[in-house]
């Protein structure tokens, strides 16, 4: 969960509060509904919702839906569900478009104040007016800036009433072109866009820009601290200029914090779409991606993401965090919150010839060696057990401490066995069966390996192990583009894995609140069924699972993964 000490008690956000120590604090998380949220947005959500909560205030989820060209219905629900999944409850869900009437009136007011004009210039003209190619020539205003208030009102109403095609006219704020800040160079406030809007239908053919909308919506909603990322630093001036000029009743204060990204993660919508469309990944929620729906599907707990954000803290610098560091935090979180089970990825049967009296014994195995509150479960010992292919060698060697002919190994939570012989498939050369005997009287073996019993209580499953989707840490910079940097082995599939019988209880008790010590977030999906597969890694159930088939994703490896 969020750590208030590192997030709000000191540091950047504490200073922001000190600048304006008001109550109640009102904030907003304002995504544009034009794509799925990604890991960077988790920080924005934590900052805005967390800051309000810490100060006993409220945070709106505001859909910044002023561009009907890019926005789609599916994103609204996806965004809201991710906010809730992270454990936050919007005070209200609002839409910038709720304010279209009020924004329009404010635009007329701005015109009446002599602070906006309808302009007919094209992009080339604007560039010249703003100082030309290198911004080196003097800035100037076009003749439209001299139109009378009456003429501007008439033209603006004309824009509203459909008398202009897109780009034939737009409303510009009359700011201060002598200011060194480009955000003061008579920015666009309204443009003609002949597109129906998902909420207001065809009522409008003009739509307000971000620069016009955001500060006013913040003011209308009584936002006290408007927290955004540093690319908006220069926008602070235009933000304040507009709110001051139209004399809004509640003046919000904009402050900027650094963006978060993760190395090797592609977050741009266009690139993600290409990866999905060209089937490099299974979908927008593929566990190799860093959209929040992907991170959820992979099994990363929401509370672990908040822990990660807390650890990084909030400053004004943008940071690119190594994926290994992200995984380290997730691993640490899982280590104390999920039960342990045995999973065999690539099973080979071992027949224990003298299993005799032990056959059918119910072994009691704790779900966690560290946390007794998690309880224990029973595993039935069978004459045939499955072990992982990698734990057996046909030819023994001195530095090998697992199973080989004549060599003993321990079965976790059970007995010691010694291999006697094995059989191979002559065509594939693969070992098909190992024969063994019990060896409980001998020396304690160096290694204990995972195993599952060969009976109906063990469950077959498909296991997917993901590696980084890209070979380099900065695929954007790869020669030949990011698609040429794709790791061809980023998904390993084990179709015949077997998980022990304890899985059923692990599933029933998920998400193990007695271990997590918390219950925030939504924990109803398959991905909340998480466990540590001893000696293998951390796993969660995939959404491809059905009544008859278990599919598992590796969340993270047990130790830092050196290979890619
Ligand atoms: P993207 O282009 O990656 O979708 P965006 O800036 O368009 O990002 P919005 O949908 O407008 O994203 O985002 C809503 C809020 O999330 C904004 O306040 C934005 O500053 C913040 N945000 C977006 N990306 C990040 C990030 N990487 N780190 C922290 N905050 C972010
Ligand atoms: Mg966005
Ligand atoms: Mg944006």
| Number of domains comprising the chain | 3
Give the residue whose CA is nearest to atom 22 of ligand 1.
41
Q: Are 474 and 444 in contact (CB under 8 A)?
A: no
Same domain flag for 345 and 201: no
Residue 32 CA: nearest ligand 1 atom is 10
Q: Which of 208, 231, 250 is the last residue of a domain?
A: 208
The preferred substitution site among 62, 65, 210, 229 for testing ligand 1, maximizing ligand atoms within 8 Å of CB, is 229
Active site residue 380: no
**Ion ligand 2 — residues with CB under 5 Å?**
32
Q: Which of 280, 298, 323 is the last residue of a domain?
A: 323
| Identified catalytic residue from 157, 259, 460, 564 | 259
Is 331 a domain residue? no
CA distance 434 to 262: 45
Residue 39 CA: nearest ligand 1 atom is 27
Give the residue whose CA is nearest to atom 29 of ligand 1.
259
pLDDT of residue 72: 82
Same domain flag for 264 and 163: no
Same domain flag for 61 and 191: no
* Ligand of minimum distance to the alpha carbon of 64: 1
DSSP secondary structure of 276-331? HHTTSSSSTT-TTS-BHHHHHHHT--HHHHHHHHHHH---SS-EEE-HHHHHHHHH
Q: The domain spanning residue 394 has which CATH number?
A: 2.40.240.10
Is 278 a domain residue? yes
Q: Which residues of the chain have pLDDT under 70?
A: 514-523, 561-564
Q: What angle do CA 274, 279, 280 make, to 5 degrees?
A: 80
Q: Which element (helix H / strand E) includes 337?
A: helix 323-337
Report the helix count and the strand count for the chain, using DSSP H and E: 15, 27
Residue 232 CA: nearest ligand 1 atom is 20
Same domain flag for 179 and 69: no
* Ligand of minimum distance to the alpha carbon of 319: 1
| Identified catalytic residue from 269, 380, 535, 564 | 269
Record the tokens describing residue 266, joined without a space: 């592609």
pLDDT of residue 523: 64
Q: The domain spanning residue 76 has which CATH number?
A: 3.40.50.620
Same domain flag for 118 and 72: no
Query: Which residue(s) pair with 225 in the sheet?
Result: 253
Q: Are 304 and 526 in contact (CB under 8 A)?
A: no
Record the tokens describing residue 329, joined without a space: 């935090």
Give the residue whose CA is nearest to atom 14 of ligand 1.
31
**pLDDT per residue as tens digits for the range 276-322:** 999 999 999 999 999 999 999 999 999 999 999 999 999 999 999 99
Give the residue whose CA is nearest to atom 7 of ligand 1.
32
Is 562 a domain residue? no
* Ligand of minimum distance to the alpha carbon of 40: 1
Same domain flag for 197 and 256: no
Same domain flag for 357 and 450: yes
Give the SS3 label for residue 342. coil
User: What phi and psi, each to the nearest 5 degrees, are found at residue 45?
Assistant: -65, -45
Q: Which residues contact 552 (CB under 8 A, 6 or more apart)?
A: 343, 461, 462, 463, 464, 497, 499, 539, 540, 541, 542
Same domain flag for 26 and 62: yes
Residue 34 CA: nearest ligand 1 atom is 10
Domain region containing 79: 4-96+214-323
Q: Are 546 and 564 in contact (CB under 8 A)?
A: no
How far does residue 68's CA lie from ligand 3's centre (Å)? Answer: 14
Record the tokens describing residue 102, joined without a space: 């009020």
Q: The domain spanning residue 173 has which CATH number?
A: 3.90.800.10
pLDDT of residue 462: 98
Q: Which of 270, 296, 323 is the last residue of a domain?
A: 323
How far does residue 198's CA lie from ligand 3's centre (Å)? Answer: 18
Same domain flag for 364 and 417: yes
Is 332 a domain residue? no
Helices 39-54 and 73-85, axial angle in degrees (round to 10)? 60
Active site residue 72: no
DSSP secondary structure of 256-278? EE--EEETT----HHHHHHHHHT
Exposed / middle / buried, residue 434 (Cβ in 10 Å: 0-12, 13-18, 19+): buried
How far does residue 248's CA lie from ligand 2's centre (Å)? Answer: 27
Give the residue whose CA is nearest to atom 15 of ligand 1.
31
Is 8 a domain residue? yes
pLDDT of residue 521: 47
Active site residue 269: yes
CA distance 354 to 438: 7
Is 329 a domain residue? no
Is 561 a domain residue? no
Same domain flag for 113 and 180: yes
Give the SS3 label for residue 452. strand
Residues within 6 Å of ligand 1 by CB: 30-32, 35, 40-41, 43-44, 228-229, 259-261, 267
Same domain flag for 350 and 280: no
Give the residue whose CA is nearest to atom 2 of ligand 1.
268
**pLDDT per residue as tens digits for the range 193-203:** 999 999 999 99
Is 564 a domain residue? no
Q: Are 316 and 258 in contact (CB under 8 A)?
A: yes
pLDDT of residue 474: 87
How far does residue 35's CA lie from ligand 3's centre (Å)? Answer: 10
Pairing of strands 260-262, 459-466: unpaired
Same domain flag for 367 and 471: yes
How far does residue 121's CA lie from ligand 2's centre (Å)? Answer: 29
């Amino acid at each position: 969960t969020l750590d208030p000490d590192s997030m709000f008690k000191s540091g950047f956000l504490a200073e922001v509060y000190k600048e304006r120590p008001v109550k109640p604090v009102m904030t907003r998380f304002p995504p544009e509904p034009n794509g799925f949220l990604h890991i960077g947005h988790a920080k924005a959500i934590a900052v805005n919702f967390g800051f309000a909560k810490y100060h006993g205030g409220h945070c709106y989820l505001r859909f910044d839906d002023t561009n009907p060209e890019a926005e789609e219905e599916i994103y609204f629900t996806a965004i809201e569900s991710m906010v809730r999944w992270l454990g936050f409850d919007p005070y209200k869900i609002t839409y910038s478009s709720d304010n279209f009437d009020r924004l329009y009136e404010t635009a007329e007011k701005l015109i009446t104040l002599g602070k906006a004009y309808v302009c007919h210039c094209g992009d080339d003209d604007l560039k010249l007016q703003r100082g030309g190619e290198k911004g080196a020539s003097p800035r100037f205003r076009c003749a439209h800036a001299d139109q009378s208030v009456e003429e501007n009102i008439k033209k603006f109403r004309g824009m509203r009433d459909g008398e202009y095609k897109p780009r034939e006219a737009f409303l510009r704020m009359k700011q201060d072109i002598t200011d060194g800040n480009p955000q003061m160079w008579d920015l666009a406030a309204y443009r003609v866009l002949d597109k129906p809007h998902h909420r207001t239908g065809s009522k409008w053919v003009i739509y307000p820009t971000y620069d016009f909308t955001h500060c006013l919506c913040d003011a209308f909603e009584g936002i006290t601290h408007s927290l955004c990322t540093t690319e908006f630093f220069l926008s602070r001036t235009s933000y304040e200029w507009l709110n001051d000029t139209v004399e809004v009743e509640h003046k919000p204060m904009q402050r900027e914090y650094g963006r978060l990204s993760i190395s090797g993660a592609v977050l741009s919508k266009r690139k993600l779409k290409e990866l999905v469309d060209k089937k490099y990944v299974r979908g927008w929620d593929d566990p190799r991606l860093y959209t929040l729906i992907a991170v959820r599907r992979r099994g990363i707990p929401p509370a672990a993401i908040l822990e990660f954000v807390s650890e990084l803290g909030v400053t004004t610098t943008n940071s690119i965090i190594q994926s290994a560091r992200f995984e380290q935090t997730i691993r640490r979180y899982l280590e104390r919150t999920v039960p342990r089970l045995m999973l065999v990825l690539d099973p080979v049967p071992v027949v224990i010839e003298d299993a005799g009296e032990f056959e059918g014994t119910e072994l009691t195995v704790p779900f966690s060696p560290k946390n007794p509150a998690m309880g224990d479960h029973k595993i039935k010992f069978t004459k045939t057990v499955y072990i992982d292919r990698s734990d057996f060698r046909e030819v023994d060697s001195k530095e090998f401490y697992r199973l080989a002919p004549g060599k003993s190994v321990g079965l976790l939570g059970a007995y010691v066995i010694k291999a006697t012989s094995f059989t191979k498939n002559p065509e594939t050369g693969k070992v098909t069966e190992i024969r063994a005997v019990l060896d409980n009287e001998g020396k304690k073996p160096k290694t204990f390996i995972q195993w599952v019993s060969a009976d109906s209580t063990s469950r077959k499953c498909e296991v997917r192990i993901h590696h980084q989707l890209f070979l380099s840490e900065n695929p954007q910079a790869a020669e030949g583009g990011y698609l040429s940097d794709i790791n061809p082995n980023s998904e390993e599939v084990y179709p015949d894995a077997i998980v022990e019988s304890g899985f059923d209880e692990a599933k029933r008790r998920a998400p193990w609140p007695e271990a997590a010590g918390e219950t925030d977030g939504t924990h109803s999906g398959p991905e909340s069924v998480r466990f540590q597969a001893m000696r293998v890694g951390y796993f969660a159930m995939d959404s491809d699972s059905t009544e008859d088939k278990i599919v598992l994703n590796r969340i993270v490896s047990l130790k830092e993964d050196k290979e890619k």
